[in-house]
Amino acid sequence: MRYQQVLVGLVLAIVLFLFPLSAEGVGSSSTRRSTDAISGKDFSGQSLIGSEYTQIKLKDVNFSNADLRGGVFNTSILEGVNLHGVDFTDGIAYLAVFERADLSDAIFTNAMMLRSTFDDVDITGADFSNAVLDRLEVTKLCAKASGVNSKTGVSTRESLECQ
């Protein structure tokens, strides 16, 4: 009996060594990687809580009014992306490039957005309360900050702590 257990264990170890299991976790379908590029897709109004977009180019994608709480945009390019009215509370956008993106009326409360750049973006009514951004980007955003977020009632200038 003991001999059989050792033999089965050895065979199982050899099979696992030769044919390892995939390391994908539950919900991996919500993770997009560098091999992907998404253009023109419509995610508006969807619940995308915790979705990850890592090393990907998003061009003209519509996320308007989507629930992106806890979402991730790491080392991604968001070109012409519509983030109007999204809730990106507690999200992470590290090394993300926001270019010609609509961030109006979006909520970025407690978002970690270090080393991200914001070029030619619309931030009218966006709420950046307690968000962490590079000082240079805050200065750039303050130059165009205006409006009040329709959901939180916080002014964009106040949330960025503009002088």
Cα separation, 77 vs 85, whole angstroms: 19
Q: How many CB atoms lie within 10 A of CB 32?
A: 19
Percentage of the chain beyond pLDDT 70 is 79
Report the pLDDT value the prediction gives residue 120, as an integer from 0 to 100: 98
Report the pLDDT value the prediction gives residue 36, as an integer from 0 to 100: 74
Q: Point out which residues pair with 119 in neighbouring strands.
A: 99
Report the pLDDT value the prediction gives residue 163, as an integer from 0 to 100: 87
38, 51 in Cβ contact below 8 A? no
33, 51 in Cβ contact below 8 A? no
Task: Specify the pTM.
Answer: 0.79
Convert the pLDDT of each residue in 76-116 to its tens digit: 999 999 999 999 999 999 999 999 999 999 999 999 999 99
Q: Where are the beta strands (DSSP E) in the chain?
A: 31-32, 37-39, 52-54, 57-59, 72-74, 77-79, 97-99, 117-119
Cα separation, 115 vs 147, whole angstroms: 25
Convert the pLDDT of each residue in 130-159 to its tens digit: 999 999 999 999 999 999 999 999 999 999
Percentage of the chain beyond pLDDT 90 is 77
Convert the pLDDT of each residue in 26-66 to its tens digit: 333 455 555 578 999 999 999 999 999 999 999 999 999 99
HSE value, Cβ hemisphere, 13 Å, CA-based, for 86: 30
What are φ and ψ of residue 121, in 5° steps? -105, 155
Report the pLDDT value the prediction gives residue 109, as an integer from 0 to 100: 98
